């Protein structure tokens, strides 16, 4: 099971945080800080797996991360997930974001964090992997976005582009 | 009221903030605006406001006032509203709030909505944060959706079912009929989530597992699906780097593992496919390796035939040589899991594993170290130990403690000879001595005691090590103990194993005295060295008077402080000490030769302790009855010592407030004039006791501070007693002594804390 998915930049600023287990607000922020601290210390050419920090379950859980340009994508998982499989999953996630946003960069994630949540919701549900086929995910996300757009047109409410 | 700003406007504004305080201000302003907008029950802009709230929540600001608004959004007819509402529910709500129960009805309606995306949202939210009550209420709806032909909904329903089963395990039975047809789906998304559901059911319930194995005979079905994936050739839909849906392959392999575990029939049914996957998978990319990794884990876990197991371990061996660090990491992890059951097969890769000790990556080094220790046996102990000791020399401090312990354990189990064992221990103590665990010292002492024929060799080597370096406390402690016990062997030059060294009794005492004086020695170490000196006073037979005058000088300086340390740290040793002093019957603490002149040695020692116990009073009779130990020690702890020296430095009042008064009295620790020994006396003039009294002190960087244990934590009321504590301050640069003190205590039931600066130290205390 995936316990949490975190995206933060090189300075530790959170760009997306999704927890699949319950922690209170303070603990969530502490986990983000602790994870950033652990991950940012790592060299570029070491392996992408770490033991989880104390707040998120310690040595029972692992942090699997990938560093893309200015962003760290960190998945915190327990022992039932395959480490190499999760690495591939992160790759699929980032490639999907790339397709949806066209050459995605950090700014896209900053200004469209709700869209990123929607894409993620089509991939991981309740801490478990839902769909790994990039095209399938994009089709679903596009269809739902279209629905939103059509509503704004019909009901003449403020532009859905919030 | 003007329209609330858009989310991206807010984000843009927040990004212009240059300080945390500015950001906080902007957020607070916006929160206020959002709150008033919520109060006005504005339907049009609600979703915009909640979106902003979620953004602020991510940054770490409180957002609970938006929880009810999420519910209103969920209840709305618009998809846009529902989408944000459900997202908000997942981010802001959890089972601990009652609010989430109100969602149940909405979710129920949405599960039956005409639009599949709305149904999807409901399933998603229920599957993420549904409580047990909600799951119970809605399980029926989920089960219905599990049977739908809509693959988009079916896959979500499967994962939602997993969540329901986790929350309410009794409901598992309910989903059984619906799962029957899941594996005949063509859609990979559904297949994937179905396998996850089946896995969850098998892991939770042994009955279910049996059912799947024997009644439904799942294994052939899974094997067939896997085979199709491998043989199907290129399929653009599911291709990832040339492999067809590796995620699904990995999932199936995992389920096969569970089904095949401890079951011969199932294991046999999957042998062929496992061999096929193991040999045909392309290993150039991570995806291929992920599949191979899963295959290896499955082979090792089920009842596979030995040929297959060897194949698996060889794959892991190949992984170890891979350039990719991640692959090496998973290989080491897997080998660690299998080393118990397939020890010989893993041994074949020992040299590769030992090479990994030199890797730069910390995670890999740690696993290589654990695995290396697991591989040590009687045959390879010498070679392995060489590598491990080399690793101990050069590794990071975080590994040293574990490595040292591992070396000790391995040496104990497989040491080929006693001399090798002691050499190995010496090597560890000298290279990583400060990281050795505290309990190793008594264990090592035990070991050395038992190796009777090695005593001379051991004490000689430890003595030589002490000459080089006295900073590593465990080494120093073991060495002091040995010298105390076998000092006679050392001086008599009896070593057989190597060239005996020439050492005089004076030199030995020099070394031990050096330990007492050194700032590097902890109180425990000082205790060990003092004991050693005491023991030697009875073993070193030559010129007893000359030696004992040196010892007298040493003890007079350190004895009081050390004995005080004894009373807290080392009561048994203190009792031994008293036995020694107990008069004419010297109780043999020592196992070997009895001293030749016990009486005089005992008497002189008695005299010098007699001097200390009563400062200025008459010396006690030589035979201090042994039954009085508490008096001897307690008496020392609360009286000012060395009255003649302390007269030169006047006492001072360091703190006086709210009835608590703290006085400092000074001694100078001879022969090191850089150490000032301060005794604090805390008294209480109020009518109530001050309990849980803790005194803490801090000094500027150029000083070093050592705080010994206090006499108690209760400062009795109305000056009925005092709490004393000793502080030792090292002031090598002879700078003006300044101190900051922190006092915490409980008075009349409430906690009190105070910080104060102490600047009025008399110049004699630091000059």
Q: Identify which of A83, A25, A88 has the alpha carbon closest to the alpha carbon of residue A50.
A: A83
Out of B115, B159, B325, name the one closest to residue A46 (CB): B325
Q: Which residue has the higher pLDDT, B545 or B699?
A: B699
pLDDT digits (tens, 9 = 90+) for B614-637: 333 333 333 333 333 333 323 333
pLDDT digits (tens, 9 = 90+) for B329-363: 989 988 988 888 888 888 888 888 998 888 888 88
pLDDT of residue B554: 65
Cβ–Cβ < 8 Å for B516, B530: yes
End-to-end, the C-alpha distance of chain A in Å comes to 32
Q: Is B678 exposed, middle or buried (0-12, 13-18, 19+ CB in 10 A)?
A: buried
From residue A104, alpha-carbon distances to A17, A68, B548, B663 in Å are 18, 11, 82, 68
Domain region containing A117: 1-154
Per-window interface: A 70-109 vs B, CB < 8 A: 82-85, 87-89, 92
List the beta strands (DSSP E) in A24-154. Answer: 49-51, 62-68, 71-77, 124-125, 128-129
Q: Which residue has the higher pLDDT, B242 or B155?
A: B155
Other CB atoms within 10 Å distance of the CB of residue B471: 11
The reply to whether A143 falls in a domain is yes
End-to-end, the C-alpha distance of chain B in Å comes to 74
The reply to whether A140 falls in a domain is yes
Out of A47, A147, A161, name the one closest to residue B79 (CB): A147
The reply to whether A81 falls in a domain is yes
Q: What does the mean pLDDT of chain B come to?
A: 80
Out of B55, B156, B293, name the one closest to residue A82 (CB): B293
pLDDT digits (tens, 9 = 90+) for B80-132: 999 999 999 998 887 777 777 788 999 999 999 999 999 999 999 999 988 88
A59 vs B: CB within 8 A: no
* Structural domains of chain B in order of their starting residue, each with its CATH number: 438-569 (no CATH), 652-765 (2.60.40.1230)
pLDDT digits (tens, 9 = 90+) for B570-617: 444 444 444 444 433 333 333 222 233 333 333 333 333 333 333 333
A12 vs B: CB within 8 A: no
Give me the percent of chain B exceeding a pLDDT of 90. Answer: 21
Phi-psi bin for A12: left (phi > 0), alpha (psi -120 to 50), beta? left
- The least confident of A107-111, B554-558, B679-683 is B554-558
Q: Is 70 exceeded by the pLDDT of residue B21?
A: yes
A50 vs B: CB within 8 A: yes
Q: Would you place residue B478 in the very low, low, confident or very high pLDDT band (cuts 50, 70, 90)? A: confident
Cβ–Cβ < 8 Å for B92, B70: yes
Closest chain A CA to residue B43: A157
A138 vs B: CB within 8 A: no
Which residues in chain B touch residue A45, judged by CB atoms under 8 angstroms apart?
325, 360-361
Token pair of B388, please? 């491990």
Rounded average pLDDT over B748-759: 86
Q: Are residues B247 and A25, on separate chains, in Cβ contact within 8 Å?
A: no
Length of chain B: 767
Rounded average pLDDT over B187-208: 92
Residue B20 CA, distance from chain mean position: 33
Q: Are residues B160 and A20, on separate chains, in Cβ contact within 8 Å?
A: no
Domain count along chain A: 1
- Helices B7-15/B20-39 angle, 10° precision: 160
Rounded average pLDDT over B267-273: 89
The reply to whether A161 falls in a domain is no
Closest chain B CA to residue A117: B87
CA gap B257, B202 in Å, rounded: 11
Residue with tokens 């559904």: B190
Cβ–Cβ < 8 Å for B284, B265: no
pLDDT of residue B560: 60
The reply to whether A148 falls in a domain is yes
B681 vs A: CB within 8 A: no
pLDDT digits (tens, 9 = 90+) for B499-515: 777 777 778 878 887 88
SS (H, E, C) B105-150: HHHHHHHCCCCHHHHHHHHHHHHHHCCHHHHHHHHHHHHHHHCCCC
Complex confidence, ipTM: 0.85
Out of B6, B58, B95, name the one closest to residue A162 (CB): B6
The reply to whether A97 falls in a domain is yes
Which residues in chain B touch residue A152, judged by CB atoms under 8 angstroms apart?
80
pLDDT of residue B457: 83
pLDDT digits (tens, 9 = 90+) for B31-75: 999 999 999 888 888 989 999 999 999 988 988 888 889 999 999
A156 vs B: CB within 8 A: no
Q: Are residues B363 and A135, on separate chains, in Cβ contact within 8 Å?
A: no
A139 vs B: CB within 8 A: no
pLDDT of residue B136: 92
Cβ–Cβ < 8 Å for B375, B346: yes
Per-window interface: B 72-91 vs A, CB < 8 A: 78-80, 83-84, 87, 91
CA gap A121, A113 in Å, rounded: 12
Q: Is 60 exceeded by the pLDDT of residue B326?
A: yes
Domain of residue A41, CATH code: 3.30.450.60
Cα radius of gyration rounded to whole Å, chain B: 38
Beta-carbon contacts of B24 under 8 Å, excluding residues fewer than 6 positions away, are: B61
Which residues in chain A touch residue B286, judged by CB atoms under 8 angstroms apart?
84, 87-88
The torsion of the CA quartet B359, B361, B362, B365, rounded to 10 degrees, works out to -30
Instruction: Tell me which of A33, A82, A117, A154 to substitute to probe the interface with B (most B C-beta atoms closer than 10 Å).
Output: A82
The reply to whether A48 falls in a domain is yes
The reply to whether A27 falls in a domain is yes
pLDDT of residue B141: 93
């Amino acid at each position: 099971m995936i316990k949490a998915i975190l995206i933060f930049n090189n300075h530790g600023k959170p760009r997306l945080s999704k927890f699949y287990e319950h922690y209170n607000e303070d603990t969530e922020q502490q986990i983000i800080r602790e994870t950033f601290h652990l991950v940012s210390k790592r060299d570029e050419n070491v392996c992408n797996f770490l033991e989880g920090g104390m707040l998120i379950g310690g040595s029972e859980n692992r942090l699997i991360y990938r560093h893309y340009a200015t962003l760290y994508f960190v998945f915190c998982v327990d022992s039932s997930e395959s480490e190499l499989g999760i690495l591939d999953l992160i790759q699929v996630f980032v490639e999907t974001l790339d397709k949806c946003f066209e050459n995605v960069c950090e700014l896209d994630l900053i200004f469209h964090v709700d869209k990123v949540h929607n894409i993620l919701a089509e991939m991981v549900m309740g801490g478990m992997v839902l769909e790994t086929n990039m095209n399938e995910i994009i089709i679903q996300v596009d269809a739902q976005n279209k629905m939103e757009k059509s509503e704004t047109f019909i009901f003449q409410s403020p532009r859905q582009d919030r | 009221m003007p329209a609330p700003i858009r989310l991206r406007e807010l984000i843009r504004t927040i990004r212009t903030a240059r300080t945390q305080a500015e950001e906080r201000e902007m957020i607070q302003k916006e929160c206020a605006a959002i709150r008033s907008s919520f109060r006005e029950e504005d339907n049009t802009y609600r979703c915009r406001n909640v979106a902003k709230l979620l953004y602020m929540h991510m940054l770490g600001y409180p957002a609970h006032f938006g929880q009810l608004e999420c519910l209103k959004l969920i209840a709305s007819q618009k998809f846009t509203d529902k989408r944000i509402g459900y997202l908000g529910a997942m981010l802001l709500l959890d089972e601990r709030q009652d609010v989430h129960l109100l969602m149940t009805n909405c979710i129920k309606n949405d599960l039956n909505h005409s639009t599949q995306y709305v149904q999807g949202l409901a399933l998603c939210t229920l599957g993420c944060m549904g409580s047990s009550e909600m799951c119970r209420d809605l399980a029926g709806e989920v089960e219905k959706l599990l049977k739908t032909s809509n693959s988009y909904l079916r896959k979500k329903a499967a994962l939602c079912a997993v969540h329901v089963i986790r929350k309410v395990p009794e409901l598992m039975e309910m989903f059984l009929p619906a799962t029957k047809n899941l594996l005949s789906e063509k859609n990979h998304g559904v297949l994937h989530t179905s396998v996850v559901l089946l896995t969850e059911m098998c892991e939770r319930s042994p009955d279910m597992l049996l059912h799947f194995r024997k009644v439904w005979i799942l294994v052939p079905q899974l094997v067939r699906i896997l085979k199709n994936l491998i043989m199907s050739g290129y399929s653009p839909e599911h291709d990832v780097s040339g492999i067809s849906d590796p995620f699904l392959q990995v999932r199936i392999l995992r389920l096969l593992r569970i089904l095949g575990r401890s079951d011969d029939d199932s294991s046999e049914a999957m042998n062929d496919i496992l061999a096929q996957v193991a040999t045909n998978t392309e290993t150039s990319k991570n995806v291929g390796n992920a599949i191979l990794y899963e295959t290896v884990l499955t082979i090792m876990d089920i009842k596979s035939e030995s040929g297959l197991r060897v194949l698996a371990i060889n794959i892991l061996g190949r992984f170890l040589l891979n350039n990719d660090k991640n692959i090496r990491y998973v290989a080491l992890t897997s080998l660690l899991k299998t080393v118990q059951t397939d020890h010989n097969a893993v041994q074949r890769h020992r040299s590769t594993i030992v090479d990994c000790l030199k890797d730069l990556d910390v995670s890999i080094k740690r696993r290589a170290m654990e695995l290396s220790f697991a591989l040590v046996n009687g045959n390879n102990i010498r070679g392995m130990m060489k590598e491990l000791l080399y690793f101990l020399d050069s590794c990071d401090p975080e590994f040293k403690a574990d490595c040292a312990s591992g070396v000790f354990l391995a040496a104990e189990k497989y040491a080929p000879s006693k001399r090798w064992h002691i050499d190995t221990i010496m090597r560890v103590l000298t290279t990583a001595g400060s990281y050795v665990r505290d309990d190793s010292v008594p264990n090592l002492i035990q070991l050395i005691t038992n190796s009777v024929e090695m005593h001379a060799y051991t004490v000689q080597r430890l003595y030589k090590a002490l000459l080089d370096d006295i900073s590593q406390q465990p080494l120093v402690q073991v060495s002091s103990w040995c010298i105390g016990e076998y000092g006679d062997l050392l001086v008599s030059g009896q070593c057989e194993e190597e060239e005996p060294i020439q050492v005089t009794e004076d030199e030995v005492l020099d070394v031990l005295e050096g330990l007492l004086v050194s700032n590097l020695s902890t109180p425990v170490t000082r205790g060990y060295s003092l004991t050693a000196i005491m023991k030697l006073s009875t073993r070193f037979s030559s010129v007893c008077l000359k030696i004992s005058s040196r010892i007298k000088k040493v003890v007079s300086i350190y004895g009081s402080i050390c004995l005080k340390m004894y009373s807290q740290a080392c009561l048994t040793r203190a009792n031994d000490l008293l036995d020694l002093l107990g008069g004419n019957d010297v109780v043999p603490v020592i196992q070997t030769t009895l001293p030749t002149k016990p009486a005089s040695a005992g008497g002189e020692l008695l005299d010098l302790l007699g001097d200390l116990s009563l400062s200025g009073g008459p010396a006690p009779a030589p035979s201090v009855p042994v039954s009085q130990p508490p008096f001897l020690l307690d008496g020392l702890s609360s009286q000012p010592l060395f009255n003649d020296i302390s007269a030169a430095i006047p006492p001072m009042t360091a703190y006086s407030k709210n009835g608590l008064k703290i006085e400092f009295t000074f001694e100078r620790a001879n022969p090191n004039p850089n150490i000032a020994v301060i005794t604090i006396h805390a008294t209480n003039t109020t009518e109530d006791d001050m309990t849980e009294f803790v005194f803490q002190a801090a000094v500027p960087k150029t000083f070093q501070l050592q705080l010994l244990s206090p006499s108690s934590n209760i400062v009795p009321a109305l000056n009925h007693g005092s709490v004393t504590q000793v502080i030792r301050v090292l002031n090598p640069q002879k700078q003006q002594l300044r101190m900051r003190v922190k006092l915490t205590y409980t008075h009349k039931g409430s906690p009190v804390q105070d910080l104060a600066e102490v600047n009025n130290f008399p110049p004699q205390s630091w000059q």
